[in-house]
Amino acid sequence: MKNILTLVALLFLLSLLNSCGLYRKTDAKEFPPDPNLRIQKNMEEGRGFRLLQKKNSSGTFEFANSNPLWRASLDTIDFMPLLSVDYGGGLIITDWYNSNEKNDESIKLTIKFLSNEIRADAINVKVFKKICLELQNCKIVNSDSKINSELKLAILKKAALYQKNDIKKNSKKYPLKDNN
């Protein structure tokens, strides 16, 4: 029994030493001697991470507020209550909205984002209309394409303006240097 425990302990220690890289051969040419170059090489290969970023570095944002098409969509339908917004899935769904002009009619929007580019085929807008003759007797239909196309056009126009303003703002922040 004592021999078995000694053997298990020895195998355990060997596995620990092996995982530490004691038996692994490394090529000295693979790693530059300068620590800054090693850090840079590791970051390029995706082997390291940084805890603190430089203050002047600008990042890439994967949020709806940095996407002009999303901002334009949310600003265009800001009067409607939102039911679900999923930036990762590219979907905005509003709740039923009644403008109080016609108490028996409500509308609901679904906006699907097919691309982040500002193009006519980048979004798909669907408008649903709910007509209630009585409280329990409601009929839901797809709205006509005129409302869909008007809403889509309004979103695209606003997104183009947002993108134009973002380009102007960024060109003032980071002007191109002339080599002359």
Q: Residue 54 carries which DSSP code?
A: -
8-30 pLDDT, tens digit each: 998 888 887 776 655 555 555 56
pTM above 0.75, yes or no: no
The stretches in the chain having pLDDT less than 70 are: 19-32, 43-65, 170-180
The domain spans of the chain are: 2-45, 64-173
Structure tokens at 97: 């909205």
Q: What type of residue sits at position 100?
A: N
CA distances from 143 to 35, 97, 133, 139 (A): 64, 14, 17, 12
pLDDT at site 112: 93
pLDDT at site 171: 67
